Structure 1
Amino acid sequence: MGEQTRYIDGAERRARLALRHRLTPAGRAATPEAVAASLVALHGTDPATVYLAVGARLGEPARAVPETERALYGDRTLVRMHGMRHTVFVFPTELTAVVHASTGLVVAARARAALVNDMAKAGAPDAAWLKEVEESTLAALGRLGQATATELAREEPRLREQFAYAAGKSYEGVHTVSTRLLRLLGVEGKVVRGRPLGSWTSSQFRWALAPAHPELDPAHAQAELLRRWLTACGPATEGDLKWWTGWKVSDVRRALRSIGARAVTLDEGTGYVVEGDVDPVAAPEEPWAALLPCLDPTTMGWQARDWYLAPELRPALFDRSGNVGPTVWWNGRVVGSWAQRADGGIAWRILAGEGVGREAEAAIAAEAERMTGWLGDARVTPRFRTPVEKELAG
């Protein structure tokens, strides 16, 4: 008979989540770098999410904005770049080579081919012309340090060229070379998002040259990325891993074998943990509450979410594209949502049908007060708005 795998129930998975994602008061971090390392990646599609995710996990949340800006734009210990699933994340700088080799190379090849093909269909200049513009743009960015697309176009006017896209189809439009090319260079790991134009909540940003990194073997890089993520988020199913990475299932399976991952039994079926992580994990000693932002890496960490998010709550918490809005957590479960009002106050609502009790409500209210204090005069509107968030914002 084969060795019987250990069963890990939902309660233990919630305990692991709380401890490893620094969501308990005792487990909060001292720096944004520590937060990012614990989570592997912070979602960066909505710029404010990075700061809110850090603030929720710092022992001194008032330091979330200045310390995250230091890490991103001063010390460059964190980098905002394209990663898994063609999505923008913030990674520890030492992971940029791993992300690029494990995920970016395949996506980048497709993106370059698509751009060349779209330009050819529109009768725009060819790949050789595009390469010239690319090299000139990177040289200009090297001279300027950081620059917006408009500023780069002053140095390289060909970035202003336009071409028709998907002519004759319902989604046809006109693309500017700068928009498509800079995005492509981001996917290829040649440029990264720089300091925003305005405050930390701004979606307008500058571009900067990507930090130099070694070229890694893709299979080794995939193994390393999966090992880090499974350490932070395991156990997880093969489906979770395929969804989070955006890889082919064959890549996921090869990486699991490479790191010697151990199989366990979950309510969803077979799951995996890193070697040495099979032993039981006890729940935190004290109950905890958290207010996490839209697209928070904990809420978006797994494809199968029933063990921490009841299916009946999803219509109120997600937009039509599957982006999660702000969430209220109690002891490892999503129980409601929150929003910032125009006056700066935090409004929250419990959505869980059975309620959560007075202890939970008091802890959630304390977290709302904590957030109100460190946000100060800043006003945050999620980029992807959900029904309940809009209602609470008023």
Structure 2
Amino acid sequence: MSWAAVSARRLARHRLDAPALVGGDPVTRRIADVVAGTCGVHAQVMSAAEVSVAMRVAGAVCGDVRDALWRDRTLVRTHGPRGAVHLLPARDLTAWVGAMAGLDAARGPALGEPYLDPDQVAALAEACPAVLADGDLTTDELTRALADAVGGWAAEPVVGAFRARLPRWRWVQSALGRRGALCFGPRRGGELTFATPARLLPGFVPMDAEPALRRLALRYLHGYGPAAPAEFARWLGAPRDRCEEVFRSLGDSVEQVTVMGSGPALQLTGDPVHDEPPRGVRLLPYFDVFGVGCHPRSLLFAGAAARRALTRGQAGTHPVLLVDGQVAGVWRQVLRGRRLVVTVEPLVRPSAAELRELVEQVRRLAEIQGAEDVELEVGRVVAGPHS
């Protein structure tokens, strides 16, 4: 397969060739479909996550993403691949939790070290659904509730972070999310809150690990294939040898192909090749999953793009300009009330047609975020990367 064919397929699967049409479905259901197609959306920075999702659904705005998350519950905000905070489709959470909890179980006693032993981690995982059963709790409220449930050790301020000491249970917060013991709730007066899938999703029971991992691998190959086991492992934050086992277990569901300029990889058996070359200008925000999850980076971030748009090889730290499926620059935005100012730094002088598309993208960004006035500047972006 040519790299162009790979890019064209991925753009289509990520709804970056053309946004998904709502049709007769509720917009929050279509949003969940799009998030399922990308295997989740990075949501450490919620404002960026809202833009990532809304740009993939025709006419959607940030408020629609929030409605999907907090009102209609078609999305869940929790810890996903690599332990990072993600938006995941509520309907798929049983598979996600089954897969990630299975990987954590394989890590054994090292999961809680150096602050917690396996029994303490298990006690926290059992206690969280119980103490969150009646409603969302802030961090401080959950800390006190866990201390009452399992012992004062859970609240001991021993975990060093950001010049502070966090309570002991916070060391395994992401692991508790991956096990389905907790997830995030809406902010309360500016404070973070926690919820539990057992309350939000009636009948929630995680899948068994092996079928869940196979399902997740197939979903990943649908959105990011062709891919090698090492790339799946990097995306998921899992041991490479374990991911190789999972790929081997897929059997006839996958087939090997060779990507020109890269090497052998697997794709879904019979996955159609896109004959039309990748086309379009897109502005992807911080940590957009297309840039983070697509490999090999040497082809997506080719030449000067690797130096300008990656941070020590890490993707997502810069919002990127995507032209015809390739990273072609960086950008930043400043939202002042109802006025949006976007600065784009292309690596190659854009054509007149590309500039017109860029203007449309800026207007769409403004619509998504509720800005009434927009300004586009083409020049050097001086802001540093997001950590």
- 1:299 is paired with a residue whose SS is helix
Matching residue within 269, 273, 291 for 1:275: 269
Partner of 1:146: 136
Cα distance between partner residues in 2 of 1:264 and 1:94: 31
Q: What whole-Å deviation, never above 9, does each CA across 1:36-57 have from its counterpart, x for those lacking one?
A: 1221211122222221111211
Cα distance between partner residues in 2 of 1:392 and 1:346: 18
Cα distance between partner residues in 2 of 1:217 and 1:156: 27
Q: Report the CA distance between 1:298 and its aligned residue.
A: 0.6
Q: What whole-Å deviation, never above 9, does each CA across 1:58-88 have from its counterpart, x for those lacking one?
A: 1103xx3222222212222211122222222
**Aligned AA (1:73):** W
Cα distance between partner residues in 1 of 2:299 and 2:206: 38
Matching residue within 47, 66, 69 for 2:66: 69
Cα distance between partner residues in 2 of 1:346 and 1:112: 50
Q: What whole-Å deviation, never above 9, does each CA across 1:82-133 have from its counterpart, x for those lacking one?
A: 222222221112221222222233336759755364257xxxxx956x7667
**Aligned AA (2:88):** F
Matches within 5 A, 1:242-281: 242-259=233-250, 260=252, 261-266=254-259, 267-277=261-271, 279-281=272-274
Q: What is the aligned residue count?
A: 359
Partner of 2:376: none
Matching residue within 298, 312, 331 for 2:290: 298
Aligned pair in 2 of structure 1 residues 149, 163: CA closer, same or farther (>3 Å)?
closer
Partner of 1:49: 48
Aligned pair in 2 of structure 1 residues 84, 60: CA closer, same or farther (>3 Å)?
same
**Aligned AA (2:357):** A
Matches within 5 A, 1:120-269: 127=119, 138-143=129-134, 145-153=135-143, 155=145, 158=152, 161-164=155-158, 174-180=165-171, 182-197=173-188, 204-211=191-198, 212-259=203-250, 260=252, 261-266=254-259, 267-269=261-263
Cα distance between partner residues in 1 of 2:34 and 2:18: 14
Instruction: Say if 2:347 is the partner of 1:356.
Output: no
Instruction: Tell me if the contact between 2:124 and 2:169 (Cα under 8 Å) persists in the aligned partners.
Output: no
- 2:289 is paired with a residue whose SS is coil
Matching residue within 17, 22, 29 for 2:15: 22
Q: What whole-Å deviation, never above 9, does each CA across 1:163-221 have from its counterpart, x for those lacking one?
A: 4458xxx99973313533544422321100111346xxx7x521001245334332221
Q: Report the CA distance between 1:15 and its aligned residue.
A: 1.0
Matching residue within 315, 318, 339 for 2:307: 315
Aligned pair in 2 of structure 1 residues 244, 226: CA closer, same or farther (>3 Å)?
same
Instruction: Tell me if the contact between 2:99 and 2:210 (Cα under 8 Å) persists in the aligned partners.
Output: yes
Cα distance between partner residues in 2 of 1:205 and 1:321: 31
Instruction: Tell me if the contact between 1:348 and 1:392 (Cα under 8 Å) persists in the aligned partners.
Output: no
Partner of 1:103: 100
Tell me the percent identity: 22
49-58 vs 133-142, which moves further:
133-142
Cα distance between partner residues in 1 of 2:385 and 2:258: 39
Cα distance between partner residues in 2 of 1:269 and 1:392: 31
Cα distance between partner residues in 1 of 2:21 and 2:382: 26
Partner of 1:345: 340
**Aligned AA (1:243):** R
Instruction: Tell me if the contact between 1:51 and 1:68 (Cα under 8 Å) persists in the aligned partners.
Output: yes
Cα distance between partner residues in 1 of 2:346 and 2:284: 15
TM-score normalised to structure 1 length = 0.79
Which runs of 5 or more structure 2 residues have no equivalent in the other structure?
373-379
Aligned pair in 2 of structure 1 residues 112, 70: CA closer, same or farther (>3 Å)?
farther
TM-score normalised to structure 2 length = 0.81
**Aligned AA (1:146):** D
**Aligned AA (1:149):** T
